[in-house]
Amino acid sequence: MGSLERALILRANKEYEQSKQVLQELAKRNPGDAIVRYQCAWSLDILGLEEEAVPHYEAAIEMGLPDEEAKGAYLGLGSTYRTIGKYAQAKRTLEAGLEKFPGDRALLVFRAMAYYNLGQHDLAMEALLKVIAETSNDCEVQSYARAIEFYSDKLDTIFTEK
């Protein structure tokens, strides 16, 4: 079993500190390995070490990752920026992820959180309402899905009879 596989097993078993140690050592030995850098960032993030995770996420994205890992890296970096108060960077990162993966609902939801932090409450609500209308399995929500989607970008509009 390789070190990366061992680190991922440790993380899956909630042995986060041990997993982080293995991944940090791997990242030191293999700084040009995008997967290792992404996994290292993820393990730091889990432990609340967001600021330490940032350079690993950035490097992994810059080097290029397979699609699934790239989605996770954009989401992880965007979420991390938001968590540490870098809201504009969070929004830019999540939008860059959405350019590569249009319609990815997790990225849309995290971008909505960044919108909220930037005071763009209308855009945050619009995004969340659309995701709810598209994904909810609740029959009552689904019976109003068209209306929810229609009004999602018209929350401040007052409709009067003519």
Q: Are residues 117 and 132 in the same domain?
A: yes
Give the pLDDT score at 138: 94
Rounded to whole angstroms, the Cα distance separating 39 from 33 reads: 10
Of 110, 72, 105, 70, the C-alpha closest to 91 is 110
For the chain, what percent of residues have pLDDT higher than 70?
100
* Cα–Cα distance list, 103 to 85, 91, 111, 134 (Å): 25, 15, 12, 11
Do 12 and 37 lie in a common domain? yes
Among the candidates 48, 65, 82, a domain finishes at 65
Cα–Cα distance between 60 and 12 in angstroms, integer?
21
pLDDT exceeds cutoff 90 at 159: no
**Six token digits for residue 28:** 């030191």
**Count: domains in the chain:** 2
Pick the closest to residue 128 from 110, 104, 154 (CA basis): 110
Same domain, 93 and 143: yes
Indicate whether 161 pLDDT > 80.
no
Lookup result for tokens 């018209």: 154
The answer to whether residues 34 and 89 belong to one domain is: no
Structural domain boundaries, residue 45: 1-65
- Between helix 50-63 and helix 67-83 the angle, nearest 10°, is 150
pLDDT(1) > 80: no
Answer for the pair 152, 126: CB distance below 8 angstroms, yes or no.
yes
What pTM was estimated for this model as a whole? 0.90
- What pLDDT, on a 0 to 100 scale, did the predictor assign at position 125? 96
pLDDT at 37: 97
Q: Say what percent of the chain tops pLDDT 90.
A: 93
Last residue of a domain, which of 13, 39, 65? 65
